[in-house]
Amino acid sequence: MYRYDQYDHQIVKERVAQYRDQVRRRLSDELIEDEFRILRLQNGLYLQRHAYMLRIAVPYGLLASRQVRMFAHIARKYDRGYGHFTTRQNIQFNWIKLEESPDILAELATVEMHAIQTSGNCIRNTTSDELAGVAADEIVDPRPYAELIREWSTFHPEFAYLPRKFKIAISGSEQDRAATAVHDVGLHVIRNEAGEVGFRVLVGGGMGRTPILGSVIRDFLPWQHAMSYLEAILRVYNQYGRRDNIYKARIKILVKAIGAEDFARQVEAEWLDIKDGPSTLTAEELQRVAHYFTAPAYATLPAVDAEFERKKTEEKAFANWLKRNVKEHKVPGYAAVILSLKKTGVPPGDITADQLDFVADLADRYSFGELRVTHEQNLVLADVKQSELYAVWQEAKAHGLATPNIGLLTDIICCPGGDFCSLANAKSIPIAQAIAERFDSIDFQHDIGDIELNISGCINACGHHHVGNIGILGVDKDGAEWYQVSLGGAQGNVSSIGKIIGPSFSAHQMPTVIDRLLQVYVKQRVEDERFIDTVRRVGVTPFKDFVYATPIKAEHATGEDVCA
Amino acid sequence: MPNLIKDKVVIDDNWTVLRLAEGESAETVSVPVGKVIVPLTVWQAQRASLQTRSELGVWLASDERPEALKDDLAPFQVIAVDFPKFADGRGYSIAYNLRARLGYNGELRAIGDVLRDQLFYMQRVGFNAFAVRADKDIHDALKGLTDFSEKYQTSWDEKNPLFRRTKRATQSVRD
């Protein structure tokens, strides 16, 4: 993975010094909170319900074991012994003291990490495919381009005070695993007919109050022009994006208002001025960065390991795990392992300090010392030998990280919600937990098969509810917490925005609502049809009719009872 | 006399910024004699009388476009861009375009909610003068110009990105 050189080190070090002084000035009241808030947000520090939360950037989801050990250290020394992986492949700690935040950043800098632009109205951490570089369906490895974008966007002087936050996702595979359609900019790394590498550029996707899928504004942008073209997009947005209403300030609203074609025309006009200028990437620069993402020293292995095959047929639990948590690798004899952070009883994405140390150790012993974070809030060991899968499974199981539920009902994407976040209208973690408990049976989950259940505690949609096959959104009605359910959302190559099925439910009713939706699916599905395909074929009506056919018993009127 | 940071030093500011008060209009407001920086709308409305002045400045609001001054830069010793709130970042693109697209070479001044922690970025996009908000210590703000000693990307101040300016060594990939 990428390693800092003297320039990266220097810039991050100077950031720590700058931020430390900003904190000092805030504590001495030289800065008032209104001035400081925007500065600390650009450094990932949010004020939540109970304490400050620090969001640390994990560039395009890639981690080295020494960085993961640093997270464990931070969790123990500065937090309450755990951290939380987010839907943007970052990690956040929920119990941070303002006074200590500069020290945390100084410690992070020693392992080439920071919290730069993890919040605020600026260009955020670029996200990518968690299987980049190892996926069997990869066209071009997106990681070098993601790193080039990281450097270009870090402290870009013109785009630090945009109308609203700005998120870029990049994918280089047949299957889009980076949810590029719901980002401000989505980039698909592709090859044209001549075999040259470039990007298909999507703009204006997003979730929040107005979910919209991105529009293609350029079918093929040669890779050399990535920076100048992004600069043109950002310059148009910075000048013309709305600033009068926070809910209408994302680039998607601008693109929708003037139309993708007109937006593209403005970008092209802006680009003409800077195209072929000094920002144009060189082969040498691409090579410098790509060097960090060359393949590790893979052993030459048989495609099939006999002992592995034997264990697979003998142990059903192992077979279940293989079926859901192990993904195809482009190198024979290797596999990518997904460590589930969705064990029933644990908030989705949460991980303890001991588990962090353990996964760092696992990465060192089985996967070239590297880990990845998925936007579904799980971890990946990308390069595990097939012959060692059994050992990895047993060890992961002993640490609560081998729940065989990847892509299943309990692999829930969930934001921190009302338990932590001051923006939330409702709690989300207790809903996820109640659903996970109700449907804890692995056999049942495997029977239901692929399904995406996403939960957000408010309209900001950090839990990606719009693109959940089943989406749950926490809403506030007269001070009480209620949950609105949508159906038919999807991420990936055939992305779609879910449709709301009807009036909202109390927290207590939610497991039964899910049960009824699943009953309709089981009744309606044809052969191996996935949940989303059944919804697309039969429409929302049969689900809606059944869910609302008879009242669902609600012992309490609000969502408060679930965690009691 | 108020102070100004110009070309990295604190100097006396002998210009006055004219802002229209409630009820005043660009057409009828009287522009005082001396070194005055007038709103773009006043320049456009009173051009005939203003263009005879030997010393004149103009300022752009954050929702105005620098292209309004295209081929029209000569009358001004100072062009200023207003930041109604420091979080309103339109002024950065206005400044960049004034420099890069319109080729303006004179004093480019940030006015309004101008604070220490934004000066580094402002300087990068082409501002060389900063009317720091009056309640802040301008000598303290000066420190904001030197927060960073290196930058990755181009802007007005750096014509070449880091990768064209330096030879970046490649580190060993794994520990």
Instruction: Say whether residue B19 is in contact with chain A using an 8 A CB cutoff.
Output: no
Instruction: Say whether residue A3 is in contact with chain B using an 8 A CB cutoff.
Output: yes
Give the position of tokens 């960065």: A289
- Nearest-by-Cβ selection for A291 from B118, B149, B170: B170
Q: Do B148 and A121 touch (CB under 8 A)?
A: no
Give how many domains chain B has, as a whole number: 1
Rounded CA separation A548/A343 (Å): 30
Please name the residues in contact with A525: beta carbons below 8 A apart, sequence gap of 6 or more: A531, A534
> What per-residue confidence (pLDDT) applies to A31?
96
Rounded CA separation A529/A489 (Å): 16
Grouped pLDDT means (10 residues each) for chain A, 564 residues: 96 98 97 96 92 96 98 98 95 96 98 98 97 96 98 98 98 96 97 97 94 96 98 98 95 97 97 96 97 96 91 95 96 97 94 98 98 96 97 98 97 92 92 95 95 95 95 93 96 94 96 97 95 97 96 64 32
Rounded CA separation A198/A190 (Å): 6
- The C-alpha of A392 sits at a distance from chain B's nearest C-alpha, in angstroms, of 22
3-state secondary structure of B128: coil
How many of the other CB atoms lie within 10 Å of CB of B128? 19
Please name the residues in contact with A53: beta carbons below 8 A apart, sequence gap of 6 or more: A45, A46, A47, A92, A93, A94, A96, A420
Rounded CA separation A279/A456 (Å): 39
- Nearest-by-Cβ selection for A369 from B115, B155, B175: B175
One-letter amino acid at A280 equals T
Q: Which domains does chain A have, with CATH numbers?
A: 6-109 (3.90.480.20), 134-290 (3.30.413.10), 306-398 (3.90.480.20), 413-561 (3.30.413.10)
- The C-alpha of B165 sits at a distance from chain A's nearest C-alpha, in angstroms, of 10
- Nearest-by-Cβ selection for B147 from A4, A18, A30: A18
Say what angle helices A33-41 and A6-27 make with each other, to 10 degrees.
Answer: 160
pLDDT values of chain B reduced to their tens digit, one per residue, 175 residues: 789 999 999 999 999 999 999 999 999 999 999 999 999 999 999 999 999 999 999 999 999 999 999 989 999 999 999 999 999 999 999 999 999 999 999 999 999 999 999 999 999 999 999 999 999 999 999 999 999 999 999 999 999 999 999 999 777 765 5
Which is nearest to A12 in space by CA: A110, A101, A90? A110
Please name the residues in contact with A29: beta carbons below 8 A apart, sequence gap of 6 or more: none
> What per-residue confidence (pLDDT) applies to A561?
35
- Tell me which DSSP letter residue B71 carries: T
Q: Report strand pairing: B36-39 vs B16-17.
A: parallel
Q: Do A66 and B122 touch (CB under 8 A)?
A: no
- Nearest-by-Cβ selection for B96 from A64, A158, A291: A158
Instruction: Say whether residue B48 is in contact with chain A using an 8 A CB cutoff.
Output: no
Residue B170, domain member (yes or no):
no
Which residue range(s) make up the domain with B24?
A: 3-165
Q: Do B152 and A11 touch (CB under 8 A)?
A: yes
Residue B172, domain member (yes or no):
no
Residue B18, domain member (yes or no):
yes
Q: Which residues of B touch A42 (CB under 8 A)?
A: none
> What per-residue confidence (pLDDT) applies to A541?
97
How many of the other CB atoms lie within 10 Å of CB of A65? 23
What sections of A120-225 are H helices per DSSP?
143-153
- Nearest-by-Cβ selection for A161 from B89, B162, B173: B89
What sections of A42-111 are H helices per DSSP?
65-78, 101-109
Backbone angles phi, psi at A63, to 5 degrees: -135, 145
> What per-residue confidence (pLDDT) applies to B169?
79
Residue B175, domain member (yes or no):
no
Whether the CB-CB separation of A34 and A42 falls below 8 Å is answered with: no
Within 375-434 of A, beta carbons closer than 8 Å to B belong to none
> What per-residue confidence (pLDDT) applies to A275?
96
Q: Which residue of A has its CA nearest to B154?
A: A279
Which is nearest to A552 in space by CA: A482, A464, A489? A482
Rounded CA separation A351/A339 (Å): 11
Q: Do A151 and B153 touch (CB under 8 A)?
A: yes
Size of interface A-B (CB pairs under 8 A): 125
pTM over cut 0.90:
yes
> Which site among A7, A13, A228 would you substitute to test the B interface, given the most B Cβ atoms closer than 10 Å to its Cβ?
A7
Residue B174, domain member (yes or no):
no
